[in-house]
């Protein structure tokens, strides 16, 4: 995939200063920067006002103004539902529209903006504050977000409780007061949970334009979804318990649980929604998820029951409070569904002796991704329902028509994949192409909108086992950029790699650095420190072979079998048109529904109107968004045909299996590599050594590995930051690990 070079020249060039009749020409870069600044400012203002309104809504003054607005607008065609959608859901959609414009103006290929200050400085989002707590490694920015959410929940409960106590008559008995308080707390906790639910769906939208705008990839956003999921389900559980206790005290629990009102809240629908939510919550707990991932995965599909029955439970106008983020999730989910239906060619596949599978997949030339992206992979011979995430091990500059992943064999699914590939190899029938061995489908690629590994001149890449995979892509990306003269800041790179056994060492040789960039050591300083933790001595050469199992040879494939670019860091124009058309379609369908059905007929049933609202949301995406997706697919096919007419073929893939794999110490990289057996990385020693060597600079530290590795690195970064000398570097923590 070709990258556009980025001009780091001054915003007002000398040519721009030349006057023609004393009128200065305005640099296009200045116009773009000013427009982007304006869009960012508008987005910030809208978000701050929206978030402040939600935070202050429990107060009597703001709640009173909101009630007056609802009464004033209740006689309009859209009624109270339209008013709530306008106040609480429309701001999220407005932010999405502005974010689309920002991404289009920024261009398809962004690079980190050059820092104005030449001095290193701390950043809240890269400074780890909490290390070993229940949230894992938490940065200062994330801690601020956690505090804000907890403060909102505590403040809302306090405000509603005080209001209920103030309105309570002193003449009521203690039992009557208790029942009244349970009623109020149950009602208000449901509203608080609904506000948290609105934020819950934003990070789980994998290809969301909002995540792309703030440059938070899904593997980071997934943990925010987990945090918000715990908070939301705790509040909804309290919501149900308050009512259950009240009904028990009143002596008609069963009747209330089974009640389904036409005017008012449908209790049975709420019970069904809560049970579905509890099943998702319990099976998503770390212990259960580790014990049986499939159970977690399948029960999480109950989100459909959870959302639909919630709409039936509370009706249209209350559900409208969280409809905006849910609508964006529906947009993302439909696009992912369309992309995942397509079969993707497996150009080549092979098994390494360390229990790792390498797969090279076909992709169209116009599909964008960066070196820290990842994909979700489905193999239909193994399961039609399971999708597993894998980091991309190839750079977008490695080739225009392929993308590669390394898959560590750890469980039943990955073991089955390895068996499929080895069984295909055993047939020794070269007439059977790799895509006949496994039938693959792909979601993604997902990842950072901006390749942040290019932000730093100094990088430390810390990997555990197969966690080296994304760093291979980074190495390849940097070397390609250096060779081709593309913008690339990294000049000092240290790789710290911890493996259990030495049979994993050939993974490093999957990137032939000397071939990518001859004499790269003259331009980029690369050092590799490898720690083999479960072997005290190097293995004997006799009987030990690094040569991988025979690879399936690549076959030229028709471009129709490349993965689709509908989601992830896809085409900004088409993705923007998809979001805008679906949103306008939602407004149109809602208007038609109210003008020609609900208002003339006089529909007042709460649960029925809630169902109609959900149907409008889904129908607008399928109909209006589906039309755009159809044209998008046609455009992709035309692009593929154009590439084919220009005689552009599948990239030639280097077959490392045909290379004479010798001992790692005999490679060109041997002089850059230090291998230590029987020991683990001492990050204090490593960071101190780099501090003395690199001096007062910014150092990006990227970690990909198990939670214990992340915690160790984050702990040392925090310790170093608190005791650092003025001439030492500032370390910036970035995690590239996630656990679904």
Q: At what angle do helices 174-200 and 303-319 cross, to 10 degrees?
A: 110
The CA distances from residue 240 to 22, 97, 155, 338, 706, in Å, are 72, 37, 20, 37, 37
Rounded to whole angstroms, how far apart are CA atoms 47 and 71?
25
| High-pLDDT (> 70) share of the chain, % | 84
Read off the DSSP letter of residue 449: S
Helix ranges (H only) for 107-173 are 140-167
Higher pLDDT, residue 133 or 262:
262
Inform me whether the pLDDT recorded for 521 exceeds 80. Answer: no
Inform me whether the pLDDT recorded for 73 exceeds 60. Answer: yes
Rounded to whole angstroms, how far apart are CA atoms 462 and 330?
36
Ramachandran region of residue 138, left (φ > 0), alpha (ψ -120 to 50) or beta?
beta
Q: Taking a C-beta distance cutoff of 8 angstroms, is the pair 1, 367 a contact?
A: yes
Q: What is the pLDDT of residue 427?
A: 52
Q: Taking the chain, what is the end-to-end CA distance rounded to the nearest angstrom? A: 30
Q: What is the pLDDT of residue 366?
A: 75
In the three-class reduction of DSSP (H, G, I as helix; E, B as strand; rest coil), residue 365 is classed as coil
Q: Which of 236-250, 266-280, 502-516, 548-562 has the lowest mean pLDDT?
A: 548-562
Q: Report the DSSP beta bridge partners of residue 379.
A: 440
Q: Taking a C-beta distance cutoff of 8 angstroms, is the pair 324, 92 a contact?
A: yes
* Rg of the chain in Å (alpha carbons): 28
Q: What is the pLDDT of residue 662?
A: 42
The CA distances from residue 485 to 3, 398, 400, 516, in Å, are 11, 15, 18, 13
Rounded to whole angstroms, how far apart are CA atoms 332 and 209?
9
Q: In what order do the strands lie in the sheet with 492-499?
A: 673-677, 525-532, 492-499, 458-464, 698-704, 730-735
Inform me whether the pLDDT recorded for 650 exceeds 60. Answer: no
| pTM of this structure | 0.85
Q: What is the mean pLDDT of residues 302-314?
A: 95
Q: What is the pLDDT of residue 113?
A: 53
Q: Taking a C-beta distance cutoff of 8 angstroms, is the pair 31, 12 a contact?
A: no
- Pick the closest to residue 640 from 565, 577, 575, 569 (CA basis): 565
Q: What is the pLDDT of residue 660?
A: 40
Rounded to whole angstroms, how far apart are CA atoms 493 and 479?
11
Inform me whether the pLDDT recorded for 57 exceeds 60. Answer: yes
Look at the alpha carbons of 22, 27, 30, 31 in this order and tell me if their dihedral is positive or negative.
positive
Inform me whether the pLDDT recorded for 516 exceeds 90. Answer: no
Domain boundaries, the chain: 71-86+122-338+575-633
Please, which pLDDT band fits residue 313 given cuts at 50, 70 and 90? Answer: very high
Write out the H or E segment, with its range, that includes residue 674: strand 673-677
Mean pLDDT of the chain: 82
| Residue 316 burial (CB count, 10 A) | 28
What pLDDT, in 10s, does the model give residues 566-578? Answer: 766 667 888 889 9
Write out the H or E segment, with its range, that includes residue 505: none
Q: What is the pLDDT of residue 16?
A: 39
Read off the DSSP letter of residue 649: -
| Residue 724 burial (CB count, 10 A) | 15
Q: What is the pLDDT of residue 433?
A: 53
What pLDDT, in 10s, does the model give residues 179-221? Answer: 999 999 999 999 999 999 999 999 988 888 888 888 888 878 8
Inform me whether the pLDDT recorded for 453 exceeds 90. Answer: no
Q: What is the pLDDT of residue 93?
A: 94
Q: Taking a C-beta distance cutoff of 8 angstroms, is the pair 106, 124 a contact?
A: no
Q: Taking a C-beta distance cutoff of 8 angstroms, is the pair 472, 401 a contact?
A: no
Inform me whether the pLDDT recorded for 228 exceeds 90. Answer: yes
Write out the H or E segment, with its range, that includes residue 351: strand 346-352
Higher pLDDT, residue 367 or 141:
141
Higher pLDDT, residue 234 or 408:
234
* Cis ω before 381 (30° cut-off from 0): no
Please, which pLDDT band fits residue 341 given cuts at 50, 70 and 90? Answer: confident
Q: Taking a C-beta distance cutoff of 8 angstroms, is the pair 626, 578 a contact?
A: no
Q: C-alpha angle with apex 284: 278 to 288, nearest 5 degrees?
A: 110
* Cis ω before 371 (30° cut-off from 0): no
Rounded to whole angstroms, how far apart are CA atoms 181 and 339?
50
Inform me whether the pLDDT recorded for 585 exceeds 60. Answer: yes
Q: What is the pLDDT of residue 647?
A: 47
Torsion angles phi and psi, residue 130, rounded to 5: -100, 135
Write out the H or E segment, with its range, that includes residue 630: helix 626-645
Q: What is the mean pLDDT of residues 716-724?
A: 88
The CA distances from residue 332 to 184, 563, 602, 622, 640, in Å, are 36, 17, 34, 12, 24
Inform me whether the pLDDT recorded for 285 exceeds 80. Answer: yes
Inform me whether the pLDDT recorded for 10 exceeds 50. Answer: no
The CA distances from residue 310 to 17, 34, 276, 315, 465, in Å, are 61, 43, 10, 8, 43
Q: What is the pLDDT of residue 229?
A: 94
Q: Taking a C-beta distance cutoff of 8 angstroms, is the pair 186, 309 a contact?
A: no
Inform me whether the pLDDT recorded for 435 exceeds 80. Answer: no
Q: Which of 101-110, 207-216, 410-419 has the lowest mean pLDDT?
A: 101-110
Inform me whether the pLDDT recorded for 361 exceeds 60. Answer: yes
Read off the DSSP letter of residue 373: -
Inform me whether the pLDDT recorded for 665 exceeds 50. Answer: no
Write out the H or E segment, with its range, that includes residue 368: none
- Pick the closest to residue 315 from 78, 606, 599 (CA basis): 606
């Amino acid at each position: 995939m070709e990258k556009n070079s980025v001009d780091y020249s001054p915003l007002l060039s000398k040519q721009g200063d030349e006057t023609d009749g004393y009128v200065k020409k305005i640099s296009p870069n200045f116009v773009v920067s000013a427009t982007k600044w304006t869009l960012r400012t508008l987005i910030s203002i809208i978000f701050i006002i929206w978030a402040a309104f939600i935070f202050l809504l429990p107060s009597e003054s703001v709640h009173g103004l909101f009630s007056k607005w609802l009464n004033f607008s209740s006689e309009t065609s859209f009624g109270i539902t339209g008013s709530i959608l306008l106040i609480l859901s429309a701001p999220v959609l407005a932010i999405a529209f502005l974010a689309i414009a920002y991404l289009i103006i920024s261009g398809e290929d962004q690079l980190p903006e050059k820092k104005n200050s030449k001095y290193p400085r701390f950043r809240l989002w890269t400074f780890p504050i909490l290390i070993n707590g229940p949230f894992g490694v938490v940065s200062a920015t994330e801690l601020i977000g956690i505090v804000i959410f907890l403060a909102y929940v505590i403040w809302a409960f306090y405000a509603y409780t005080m209001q209920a106590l103030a309105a309570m008559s002193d003449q009521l008995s203690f039992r009557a007061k208790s029942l009244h308080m349970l009623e109020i707390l149950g009602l208000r906790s449901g509203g608080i949970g609904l506000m948290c639910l609105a934020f819950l769906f934003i990070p789980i939208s994998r290809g969301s334009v909002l995540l792309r705008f703030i440059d938070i990839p899904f593997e980071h956003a997934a943990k925010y979804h987990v945090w918000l999921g715990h908070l939301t389900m705790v509040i909804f559980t309290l919501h149900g318990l308050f009512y259950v206790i009240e009904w028990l005290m009143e002596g008609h629990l069963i009747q209330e649980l089974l009640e389904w009102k036409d005017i008012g809240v449908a209790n049975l629908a709420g019970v069904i929604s809560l049970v579905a939510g509890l099943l998702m919550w319990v099976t998503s707990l770390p212990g259960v998820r580790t014990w049986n991932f499939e159970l977690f995965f399948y029960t999480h599909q109950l989100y459909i029951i959870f959302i639909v029955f919630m709409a039936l439970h509370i009706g249209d106008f209350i559900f409208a409070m969280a409809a905006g983020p849910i609508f964006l999730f529906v947009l993302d989910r439909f696009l992912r569904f369309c992309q995942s239906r397509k079969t993707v060619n497996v150009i080549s596949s092979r098994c390494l002796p360390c229990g790792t599978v390498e797969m090279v997949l076909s992709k169209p030339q116009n599909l964008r991704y960066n070196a820290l992206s990842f994909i979700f992979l489905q193999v239909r011979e193994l399961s039609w329902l399971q999708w597993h995430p894998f980091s991309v091990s190839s750079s977008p500059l490695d080739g225009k028509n392929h993308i590669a992943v390394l898959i560590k064999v750890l469980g039943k699914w990955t073991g089955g994949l390895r068996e499929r590939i080895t069984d295909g190899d055993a047939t020794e029938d070269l007439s059977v192409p790799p895509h006949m061995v496994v039938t693959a489908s792909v979601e993604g690629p997902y990842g950072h909108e901006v390749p942040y590994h290019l932000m730093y001149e100094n990088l430390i890449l810390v990997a555990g086992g197969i966690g080296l995979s994304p760093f291979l892509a980074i190495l390849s990306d940097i070397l390609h950029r250096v060779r081709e003269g593309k913008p690339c800041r990294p000049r000092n790179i240290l790789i710290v790699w911890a493996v259990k056994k030495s049979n994993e060492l050939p993974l490093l040789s999957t990137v032939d650095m000397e071939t990518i960039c001859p004499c790269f050591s003259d331009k980029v300083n690369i050092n590799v420190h490898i720690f083999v933790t479960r072997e005290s001595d190097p293995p004997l050469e006799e009987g030990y072979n690094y040569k991988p199992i025979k690879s399936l040879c690549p076959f030229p494939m028709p471009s129709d079998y490349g993965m689709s670019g509908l989601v992830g860091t896809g085409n900004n124009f088409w993705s923007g048109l998809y979001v805008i058309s679906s949103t306008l379609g939602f407004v149109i369908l809602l208007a038609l529904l109210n003008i020609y059905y609900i208002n003339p007929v006089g529909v007042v049933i709460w649960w029925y109107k809630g169902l109609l609202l959900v149907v409008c949301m889904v129908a607008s995406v399928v109909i209006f968004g589906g039309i755009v997706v159809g044209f998008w697919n046609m455009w992709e096919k035309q692009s593929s045909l154009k590439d084919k007419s220009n005689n552009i073929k599948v990239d030639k893939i280097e077959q490392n299996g045909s290379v004479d794999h010798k001992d790692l110490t005999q490679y060109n990289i041997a002089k850059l590599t230090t291998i230590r057996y029987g020991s683990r990385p001492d990050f204090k020693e490593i960071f101190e050594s780099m501090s003395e060597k690199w001096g007062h600079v910014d150092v990006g530290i990227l970690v990909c590995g198990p939670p214990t590795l992340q915690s160790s690195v984050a702990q040392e970064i925090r310790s170093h930051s608190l005791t650092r000398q003025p001439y030492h570097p500032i370390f910036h923590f970035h995690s590239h690990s996630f656990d679904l």
